[in-house]
Amino acid sequence: MGTQLFIVKPRYESALLEELGGFGQTLAPGVLESKATELAASDLVFARQVLPNAQIFTEASVGLLAERAFEAVAPKLDGHGSWALHSFAPDDPDTSWREASHGPRAALIGARFAELMNERRRRTAREMTEPDEARHLVQLLLIDRERLAVSMVEPVKLPDGSAWPAPWPAGRVPIEEDKTAPSRAYRKLLEALAWSGASIEPNQHCVDLGASPGGWTHVALSAGAKVTAVDRAPLEAPVSGHRALKEIKGDAFQYAPDHAPVDWLISDVVADPEKSAALLLRWVEQGWCHRFVVQLKFKGQGGYRPAFEALARLRKTRPHARAKQLFSDKNEVTFFG
Protein backbone atom coordinates (compact mmCIF):
# COMPACT_ATOMS: atom_id res chain seq x y z
CA MET A 1 0.00 0.00 0.00
CA GLY A 2 1.48 3.34 -1.05
CA THR A 3 1.29 6.78 0.42
CA GLN A 4 0.36 10.22 -0.92
CA LEU A 5 3.12 12.83 -1.35
CA PHE A 6 2.54 16.51 -2.02
CA ILE A 7 4.99 19.10 -3.34
CA VAL A 8 4.71 22.39 -1.50
CA LYS A 9 6.89 25.48 -1.38
CA PRO A 10 9.38 25.02 1.49
CA ARG A 11 8.24 26.84 4.68
CA TYR A 12 4.57 26.48 3.64
CA GLU A 13 4.23 22.90 4.85
CA SER A 14 2.02 23.96 7.78
CA ALA A 15 -0.35 25.81 5.41
CA LEU A 16 -0.77 22.62 3.39
CA LEU A 17 -1.12 20.57 6.56
CA GLU A 18 -4.01 22.84 7.58
CA GLU A 19 -5.69 22.12 4.22
CA LEU A 20 -5.14 18.40 4.74
CA GLY A 21 -7.03 18.71 8.02
CA GLY A 22 -3.88 17.74 9.92
CA PHE A 23 -3.70 14.32 8.22
CA GLY A 24 -0.08 14.49 7.14
CA GLN A 25 3.56 14.95 8.07
CA THR A 26 6.57 16.69 6.56
CA LEU A 27 9.08 14.21 5.06
CA ALA A 28 11.59 16.83 3.92
CA PRO A 29 11.45 20.57 3.15
CA GLY A 30 8.80 20.94 0.45
CA VAL A 31 7.48 17.35 0.70
CA LEU A 32 4.43 16.37 2.72
CA GLU A 33 3.10 12.86 3.17
CA SER A 34 -0.47 11.80 3.90
CA LYS A 35 -1.74 8.26 4.28
CA ALA A 36 -5.29 9.37 3.45
CA THR A 37 -5.74 8.14 -0.16
CA GLU A 38 -8.81 10.30 -0.87
CA LEU A 39 -6.73 13.45 -0.33
CA ALA A 40 -4.64 12.70 -3.45
CA ALA A 41 -7.59 13.75 -5.61
CA SER A 42 -8.06 17.08 -3.81
CA ASP A 43 -7.06 20.22 -5.66
CA LEU A 44 -5.29 21.93 -2.76
CA VAL A 45 -4.11 25.55 -2.74
CA PHE A 46 -0.66 24.83 -1.30
CA ALA A 47 -0.02 21.54 -3.16
CA ARG A 48 1.64 22.21 -6.51
CA GLN A 49 1.97 18.55 -7.33
CA VAL A 50 0.76 15.22 -6.00
CA LEU A 51 2.31 11.74 -6.15
CA PRO A 52 -0.54 9.34 -5.38
CA ASN A 53 0.08 5.81 -4.15
CA ALA A 54 3.84 6.34 -3.89
CA GLN A 55 6.44 3.85 -2.68
CA ILE A 56 9.63 5.09 -1.04
CA PHE A 57 13.00 3.34 -1.51
CA THR A 58 16.30 4.05 0.21
CA GLU A 59 19.52 3.20 -1.64
CA ALA A 60 23.00 4.71 -1.75
CA SER A 61 23.52 4.95 -5.51
CA VAL A 62 21.79 6.35 -8.58
CA GLY A 63 21.93 2.90 -10.23
CA LEU A 64 20.24 1.10 -7.33
CA LEU A 65 17.52 3.75 -6.95
CA ALA A 66 16.78 3.48 -10.70
CA GLU A 67 16.62 -0.33 -10.36
CA ARG A 68 14.09 -0.04 -7.50
CA ALA A 69 11.98 2.36 -9.55
CA PHE A 70 12.14 0.03 -12.56
CA GLU A 71 11.09 -3.01 -10.50
CA ALA A 72 8.18 -1.08 -8.96
CA VAL A 73 6.83 0.40 -12.18
CA ALA A 74 7.74 -1.74 -15.22
CA PRO A 75 5.30 -4.62 -14.54
CA LYS A 76 2.44 -2.14 -14.09
CA LEU A 77 3.28 -0.30 -17.32
CA ASP A 78 3.55 -3.37 -19.56
CA GLY A 79 0.63 -3.46 -21.99
CA HIS A 80 -1.10 -0.45 -20.41
CA GLY A 81 -0.54 2.16 -23.10
CA SER A 82 1.38 5.41 -23.20
CA TRP A 83 3.28 6.87 -20.29
CA ALA A 84 5.37 9.90 -19.39
CA LEU A 85 8.20 10.32 -16.91
CA HIS A 86 8.93 13.14 -14.45
CA SER A 87 12.09 12.84 -12.36
CA PHE A 88 12.76 15.73 -10.01
CA ALA A 89 13.78 16.96 -6.57
CA PRO A 90 11.74 19.25 -4.28
CA ASP A 91 12.20 23.05 -4.36
CA ASP A 92 15.42 24.41 -2.94
CA PRO A 93 14.70 25.09 0.76
CA ASP A 94 16.95 28.18 0.88
CA THR A 95 15.64 30.12 -2.11
CA SER A 96 12.54 28.12 -3.18
CA TRP A 97 13.11 29.67 -6.65
CA ARG A 98 14.82 26.62 -8.08
CA GLU A 99 15.07 22.89 -7.64
CA ALA A 100 17.05 21.58 -4.64
CA SER A 101 20.74 20.93 -5.22
CA HIS A 102 20.17 17.17 -5.70
CA GLY A 103 18.03 17.93 -8.79
CA PRO A 104 20.78 16.80 -11.20
CA ARG A 105 20.98 13.49 -9.32
CA ALA A 106 17.21 13.08 -9.78
CA ALA A 107 17.69 13.68 -13.52
CA LEU A 108 20.38 10.96 -13.60
CA ILE A 109 18.02 8.51 -11.93
CA GLY A 110 15.35 9.34 -14.51
CA ALA A 111 17.83 8.82 -17.35
CA ARG A 112 18.99 5.49 -15.92
CA PHE A 113 15.35 4.41 -15.43
CA ALA A 114 14.63 5.17 -19.12
CA GLU A 115 17.74 3.19 -20.12
CA LEU A 116 16.57 0.19 -18.10
CA MET A 117 13.19 0.37 -19.82
CA ASN A 118 14.94 0.43 -23.21
CA GLU A 119 17.23 -2.46 -22.32
CA ARG A 120 14.67 -4.73 -20.69
CA ARG A 121 11.19 -3.63 -21.85
CA ARG A 122 11.61 -2.50 -25.45
CA ARG A 123 7.92 -2.50 -26.32
CA THR A 124 6.84 -0.60 -23.21
CA ALA A 125 9.72 1.84 -23.63
CA ARG A 126 8.35 2.75 -27.07
CA GLU A 127 5.08 3.88 -25.42
CA MET A 128 6.87 6.74 -23.62
CA THR A 129 5.49 10.13 -24.68
CA GLU A 130 4.82 13.73 -23.57
CA PRO A 131 2.91 14.21 -20.28
CA ASP A 132 -0.12 15.88 -21.88
CA GLU A 133 -0.55 12.94 -24.28
CA ALA A 134 0.26 10.09 -21.89
CA ARG A 135 -2.25 7.82 -20.22
CA HIS A 136 0.00 7.22 -17.20
CA LEU A 137 2.38 9.50 -15.39
CA VAL A 138 5.43 7.99 -13.69
CA GLN A 139 6.95 10.32 -11.12
CA LEU A 140 10.35 9.79 -9.50
CA LEU A 141 10.84 12.24 -6.64
CA LEU A 142 14.30 12.24 -5.08
CA ILE A 143 13.23 13.38 -1.61
CA ASP A 144 16.84 13.64 -0.46
CA ARG A 145 20.12 12.06 -1.62
CA GLU A 146 19.16 8.47 -0.87
CA ARG A 147 15.35 8.39 -0.71
CA LEU A 148 13.35 8.01 -3.89
CA ALA A 149 9.54 8.12 -4.09
CA VAL A 150 8.04 6.28 -7.05
CA SER A 151 4.46 6.91 -8.15
CA MET A 152 2.48 5.81 -11.17
CA VAL A 153 -0.99 7.18 -11.80
CA GLU A 154 -3.53 7.88 -14.50
CA PRO A 155 -4.00 11.68 -14.25
CA VAL A 156 -7.59 12.82 -13.81
CA LYS A 157 -9.17 15.62 -15.82
CA LEU A 158 -10.40 18.45 -13.62
CA PRO A 159 -13.65 20.22 -14.56
CA ASP A 160 -11.69 23.13 -16.11
CA GLY A 161 -10.00 20.66 -18.50
CA SER A 162 -6.59 20.62 -16.79
CA ALA A 163 -4.91 17.50 -15.42
CA TRP A 164 -4.11 16.49 -11.85
CA PRO A 165 -1.30 15.55 -11.19
CA ALA A 166 -0.08 18.60 -13.09
CA PRO A 167 1.73 17.92 -16.40
CA TRP A 168 4.99 19.65 -15.31
CA PRO A 169 7.59 18.02 -13.04
CA ALA A 170 6.94 19.19 -9.46
CA GLY A 171 4.25 21.49 -10.87
CA ARG A 172 7.00 23.86 -12.05
CA VAL A 173 5.84 25.43 -15.32
CA PRO A 174 8.83 26.18 -17.57
CA ILE A 175 8.79 29.93 -18.27
CA GLU A 176 10.90 31.51 -20.99
CA GLU A 177 13.08 34.38 -19.86
CA ASP A 178 11.85 37.76 -21.17
CA LYS A 179 14.50 40.39 -20.63
CA THR A 180 12.31 43.10 -22.21
CA ALA A 181 9.62 42.89 -19.50
CA PRO A 182 9.53 45.86 -17.09
CA SER A 183 9.51 43.49 -14.08
CA ARG A 184 10.01 39.82 -13.30
CA ALA A 185 6.37 39.61 -12.14
CA TYR A 186 5.47 38.59 -15.71
CA ARG A 187 6.50 35.05 -14.75
CA LYS A 188 3.58 34.75 -12.31
CA LEU A 189 0.99 35.66 -14.93
CA LEU A 190 2.47 33.27 -17.52
CA GLU A 191 2.52 30.51 -14.94
CA ALA A 192 -1.11 31.17 -13.94
CA LEU A 193 -2.18 31.18 -17.60
CA ALA A 194 -0.49 27.80 -18.14
CA TRP A 195 -2.30 26.38 -15.11
CA SER A 196 -5.63 27.81 -16.27
CA GLY A 197 -5.21 26.28 -19.74
CA ALA A 198 -6.37 29.58 -21.27
CA SER A 199 -4.48 32.24 -23.14
CA ILE A 200 -4.94 35.94 -23.66
CA GLU A 201 -5.97 36.39 -27.30
CA PRO A 202 -5.42 39.24 -29.78
CA ASN A 203 -7.94 42.10 -29.38
CA GLN A 204 -9.28 40.83 -26.09
CA HIS A 205 -9.74 43.49 -23.42
CA CYS A 206 -7.72 43.06 -20.20
CA VAL A 207 -8.00 45.20 -17.11
CA ASP A 208 -4.76 45.10 -15.10
CA LEU A 209 -5.19 46.39 -11.54
CA GLY A 210 -2.00 47.37 -9.70
CA ALA A 211 -0.19 47.23 -13.02
CA SER A 212 3.01 49.22 -12.38
CA PRO A 213 5.79 48.84 -13.45
CA GLY A 214 4.08 46.71 -16.14
CA GLY A 215 5.16 43.06 -16.26
CA TRP A 216 1.60 41.69 -16.49
CA THR A 217 0.50 44.42 -18.89
CA HIS A 218 3.54 43.53 -21.02
CA VAL A 219 2.35 39.89 -21.23
CA ALA A 220 -1.14 40.98 -22.28
CA LEU A 221 0.09 43.55 -24.82
CA SER A 222 2.54 41.00 -26.25
CA ALA A 223 -0.42 38.65 -26.79
CA GLY A 224 -2.08 41.39 -28.87
CA ALA A 225 -4.68 42.37 -26.25
CA LYS A 226 -5.96 45.85 -25.42
CA VAL A 227 -5.10 46.74 -21.84
CA THR A 228 -6.57 49.17 -19.33
CA ALA A 229 -3.93 49.47 -16.62
CA VAL A 230 -4.79 51.03 -13.26
CA ASP A 231 -2.17 52.02 -10.71
CA ARG A 232 -1.18 54.98 -8.59
CA ALA A 233 2.37 54.60 -9.91
CA PRO A 234 3.36 55.00 -13.57
CA LEU A 235 4.07 52.20 -16.03
CA GLU A 236 7.56 51.84 -17.44
CA ALA A 237 9.07 51.10 -20.85
CA PRO A 238 8.40 49.25 -23.07
CA VAL A 239 4.69 49.25 -22.13
CA SER A 240 4.18 52.95 -21.31
CA GLY A 241 2.83 54.77 -24.34
CA HIS A 242 1.88 51.53 -26.13
CA ARG A 243 -0.95 52.22 -28.59
CA ALA A 244 -3.12 49.38 -27.22
CA LEU A 245 -2.73 50.62 -23.64
CA LYS A 246 -5.01 52.91 -21.69
CA GLU A 247 -3.25 53.99 -18.51
CA ILE A 248 -5.36 55.19 -15.57
CA LYS A 249 -3.69 56.78 -12.55
CA GLY A 250 -5.95 55.93 -9.65
CA ASP A 251 -7.21 53.54 -7.04
CA ALA A 252 -7.62 49.95 -8.24
CA PHE A 253 -10.35 49.35 -5.67
CA GLN A 254 -12.50 52.22 -6.95
CA TYR A 255 -12.22 51.29 -10.62
CA ALA A 256 -15.21 49.81 -12.47
CA PRO A 257 -15.14 48.97 -16.19
CA ASP A 258 -17.08 51.21 -18.64
CA HIS A 259 -18.13 48.21 -20.72
CA ALA A 260 -18.61 44.94 -18.87
CA PRO A 261 -17.80 42.14 -19.06
CA VAL A 262 -14.15 42.54 -20.02
CA ASP A 263 -12.34 39.43 -21.26
CA TRP A 264 -9.77 39.38 -18.47
CA LEU A 265 -9.31 40.83 -15.01
CA ILE A 266 -5.66 40.49 -14.03
CA SER A 267 -4.54 41.89 -10.69
CA ASP A 268 -1.33 41.78 -8.73
CA VAL A 269 -2.19 44.71 -6.48
CA VAL A 270 -0.42 44.88 -3.12
CA ALA A 271 -3.16 45.01 -0.48
CA ASP A 272 -4.54 43.09 2.48
CA PRO A 273 -5.70 39.67 1.31
CA GLU A 274 -9.26 40.33 2.51
CA LYS A 275 -9.37 43.47 0.39
CA SER A 276 -8.07 41.72 -2.75
CA ALA A 277 -10.45 38.80 -2.16
CA ALA A 278 -13.39 41.22 -1.90
CA LEU A 279 -12.28 42.89 -5.14
CA LEU A 280 -12.13 39.58 -7.00
CA LEU A 281 -15.53 38.52 -5.66
CA ARG A 282 -17.07 41.86 -6.63
CA TRP A 283 -15.78 41.57 -10.20
CA VAL A 284 -16.97 38.00 -10.57
CA GLU A 285 -20.33 38.38 -8.83
CA GLN A 286 -21.13 41.59 -10.77
CA GLY A 287 -20.23 39.77 -13.99
CA TRP A 288 -17.53 42.33 -14.86
CA CYS A 289 -15.03 39.78 -16.28
CA HIS A 290 -15.08 36.51 -18.20
CA ARG A 291 -11.73 35.26 -16.92
CA PHE A 292 -9.39 36.29 -14.16
CA VAL A 293 -5.93 35.90 -12.66
CA VAL A 294 -5.83 37.62 -9.27
CA GLN A 295 -3.23 37.42 -6.53
CA LEU A 296 -3.77 37.52 -2.79
CA LYS A 297 -0.68 38.59 -0.84
CA PHE A 298 0.01 37.64 2.75
CA LYS A 299 2.22 38.96 5.53
CA GLY A 300 4.10 36.48 7.73
CA GLN A 301 3.34 32.81 7.97
CA GLY A 302 -0.19 31.51 8.51
CA GLY A 303 -3.43 33.44 8.24
CA TYR A 304 -4.44 31.87 4.90
CA ARG A 305 -8.10 31.59 5.86
CA PRO A 306 -9.10 34.53 3.58
CA ALA A 307 -7.80 32.51 0.60
CA PHE A 308 -9.69 29.34 1.54
CA GLU A 309 -12.89 31.29 2.27
CA ALA A 310 -12.66 33.36 -0.92
CA LEU A 311 -12.21 30.20 -3.00
CA ALA A 312 -15.25 28.56 -1.41
CA ARG A 313 -17.40 31.64 -2.10
CA LEU A 314 -15.99 32.11 -5.61
CA ARG A 315 -16.93 28.55 -6.53
CA LYS A 316 -20.60 29.37 -5.90
CA THR A 317 -20.45 31.64 -8.97
CA ARG A 318 -17.55 29.97 -10.81
CA PRO A 319 -17.54 26.28 -9.86
CA HIS A 320 -14.26 25.61 -11.73
CA ALA A 321 -12.26 28.46 -10.20
CA ARG A 322 -8.94 27.41 -8.72
CA ALA A 323 -6.32 28.90 -6.42
CA LYS A 324 -2.68 27.81 -6.10
CA GLN A 325 0.56 28.96 -4.62
CA LEU A 326 2.57 28.82 -7.85
CA PHE A 327 6.30 28.19 -8.17
CA SER A 328 7.00 31.90 -8.91
CA ASP A 329 4.76 33.08 -6.07
CA LYS A 330 6.23 34.42 -2.86
CA ASN A 331 3.91 34.62 0.16
CA GLU A 332 1.04 34.73 -2.33
CA VAL A 333 -1.83 32.69 -3.68
CA THR A 334 -2.97 33.05 -7.28
CA PHE A 335 -6.65 32.71 -8.17
CA PHE A 336 -7.53 31.81 -11.75
CA GLY A 337 -10.60 30.75 -13.61
- Strand 226-231 versus strand 205-209 pairing type: parallel
Residues 41 to 100 in contact with ligand SAM, rule: CB under 6 A: none
Supply the minimum distance, in Å, between the C-beta of residue 55 and ligand SAM: 42
**Residue whose CB is less far from ligand SAM, 182 or 337:** 182
d(CA 280, CA 309): 12
Interface characters, 237-276, with ligand SAM (x: CB under 6 A): --------------xxx--------------xxxx-----
Residues 26 and 13 sit within 8 Å (Cβ to Cβ): yes
d(CA 101, CA 327): 16
Supply the minimum distance, in Å, between the C-beta of residue 312 and ligand SAM: 25
What lies within 8 Å, CB to CB, of 135 at 6+ separation is 80, 81, 82, 83, 154
By CB under 6 A, tell whether 26 contacts ligand SAM.
no
Q: Which of 184, 162, 148 is nearest to 73 (CA)?
A: 148
> Is 275 assigned a catalytic role?
no
Q: Which of 306, 210, 309, 304 is nearest to 253 (CA)?
A: 210
What lies within 8 Å, CB to CB, of 1 at 6+ separation is none
Supply the minimum distance, in Å, between the C-beta of residue 193 and ligand SAM: 13
Exactly one of 34, 55, 204, 212 binds ligand SAM (CB under 6 A); that residue is: 212
Q: Treating both helix axes as pointing N-terminal to C-terminal, what angle do 273-285 and 305-317 enclose, rounded to 10 degrees?
A: 0
Site size toward ligand SAM, by CB under 6 A? 22
By CB under 6 A, tell whether 233 contacts ligand SAM.
yes
What lies within 8 Å, CB to CB, of 295 at 6+ separation is 188, 267, 268, 269, 276, 329, 332, 333, 334, 335
By CB under 6 A, tell whether 222 contacts ligand SAM.
no
By CB under 6 A, tell whether 138 contacts ligand SAM.
no
Span from 91-99, 149-157, 197-205, 210-218 in contact with ligand SAM (CB under 6 A): 210-218
By CB under 6 A, tell whether 191 contacts ligand SAM.
no
By CB under 6 A, tell whether 3 contacts ligand SAM.
no
Supply the minimum distance, in Å, between the C-beta of residue 218 and ligand SAM: 7
How far does CA 5 lie from the centroid of its chain?
A: 16
Interface characters, 146-185, with ligand SAM (x: CB under 6 A): ------------------------------------xx-x
Give the nearest residue (CB) to ligand SAM: 215
d(CA 311, CA 87): 31
Residues 148 and 142 sit within 8 Å (Cβ to Cβ): yes
Q: Which of 249, 297, 299, 316 is catalytic?
A: 297
Supply the minimum distance, in Å, between the C-beta of residue 164 and ligand SAM: 27
d(CA 230, CA 255): 8
Q: Which residues bind ligand SAM (CB under 6 A)?
A: 182-183, 185-186, 210-216, 230-233, 251-253, 268-271
Q: Give the residue numbers annotated as catalytic, written as ranges.
A: 297
